């Protein structure tokens, strides 16, 4: 890893309290850069043990689901930093339940955090990103590539975000702005214990079966993507690449595989 890349960079990280966002913060704090940590519980963010003496850290309390809170964060950041080199658009929420069981409130809450909040934040910070010819790196999911059973609200919100940011990328082909979508695999985070169930309550599910990446491993990949303005849609592993290709080659086979693999997540009760 070229450590010089991060020297003197201004980096914004959303969802910095835990999981991948926290791992990004801790890894980047090793460099002499300026970090703007955006989170609902920003006051809970603690100083990392191995912080570089040249690292500057700002904490910004912001609820992405609240437009007023997002606007306040945009205004504060605009007064605090002259540019943004990298925006790690990382915060998000999941929602689980069959299509007919998901309440409309769950759809609204999921889109508020996964789509409307990030779009508002990116629009507000875009002038600072364009000054630096910066890069927007979004933590996404393979669930955005195809409608996943039991994840209708989650898949839809992430797919919508993909489409909007792809539009942004094309519109800025000559401005030097980078826009990358990174579909991360199952990761050791609190996503399944902090999301929404079908009625809007707090989701409490066991971690996904199978091998999971650590938040630190994912953070390293996101940091690598941030250095590459040509990165567009990035999938981590074979399962991600499989879904990416099968949605075009044979959606019928893909749907049968998803049905069988995830049946326990959406079977009728």
Residues designated catalytic: 154
**Cβ distance 77 to 60 under 8 Å?**
yes
| Distance, CA of 98 to CA of 215 (rounded, Å) | 28
* Residue 237 and residue 186 in contact, taking contact as beta carbons nearer than 8 Å: no
Contacts 24+ apart (CB under 8 A), 103-109: 103/198, 103/199, 103/200, 105/200, 106/153, 106/196, 106/197, 106/198, 106/199, 106/200, 107/153, 107/156, 109/65, 109/196, 109/200
Name the one residue in this structure whose structure tokens are 């693999």: 261
SS (H, E, C) 114-150: HHHHHHHHHHHHHHHHHHHCCEEEEEEEHHHCCCCCC
Q: How far is CA 242 from CA 138, 165, 221, 222, 239, in A?
A: 20, 23, 19, 20, 5
List, edge to edge, every strand of the sheet that includes 135-141.
56-61, 34-39, 10-14, 86-89, 135-141, 178-184, 233-235
Residue 58: strand pairing partners: 36
With contact defined as beta carbons under 8 Å apart, do 166 and 140 qualify?
A: no
Cα–Cα dist 215/9, whole Å: 22
């Amino acid at each position: 890893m070229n450590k010089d890349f991060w020297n003197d960079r201004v980096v914004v990280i959303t969802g910095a309290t835990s999981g991948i966002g926290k791992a990004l913060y801790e890894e980047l704090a090793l460099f002499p850069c300026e970090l703007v940590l955006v989170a609902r519980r920003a006051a809970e963010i603690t100083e990392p043990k191995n912080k570089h003496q040249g690292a500057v850290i700002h904490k910004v309390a912001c609820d992405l689901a609240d437009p007023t809170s997002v606007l306040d964060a945009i205004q504060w950041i605009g007064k605090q930093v002259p540019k943004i080199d990298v925006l790690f658009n990382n915060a998000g929420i999941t929602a689980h339940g069959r299509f007919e069981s998901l309440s409309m409130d769950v759809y609204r809450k999921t889109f508020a955090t996964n789509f409307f909040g990030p779009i508002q934040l990116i629009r507000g910070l875009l002038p600072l990103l364009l000054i630096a010819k910066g890069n927007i790196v979004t933590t996404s999911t393979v669930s955005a590539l195809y409608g996943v059973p039991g994840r209708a609200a989650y898949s839809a919100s992430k797919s919508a975000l993909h489409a909007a940011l792809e539009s942004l990328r094309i519109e800025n082909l000559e401005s030097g702005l980078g826009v990358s979508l990174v579909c991360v695999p199952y990761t050791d985070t609190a996503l399944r214990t902090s999301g929404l169930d079908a009625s809007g309550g707090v989701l409490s599910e066991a971690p996904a079966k199978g091998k999971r990446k650590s938040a630190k491993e994912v953070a390293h990949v996101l940091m690598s993507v941030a250095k590459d303005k040509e990165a567009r849609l990035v999938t981590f592993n074979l399962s991600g690449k499989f879904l990416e290709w099968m949605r075009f080659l044979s959606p019928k086979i893909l749907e049968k595989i998803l049905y069988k693999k995830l049946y326990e997540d959406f079977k009728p009760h």
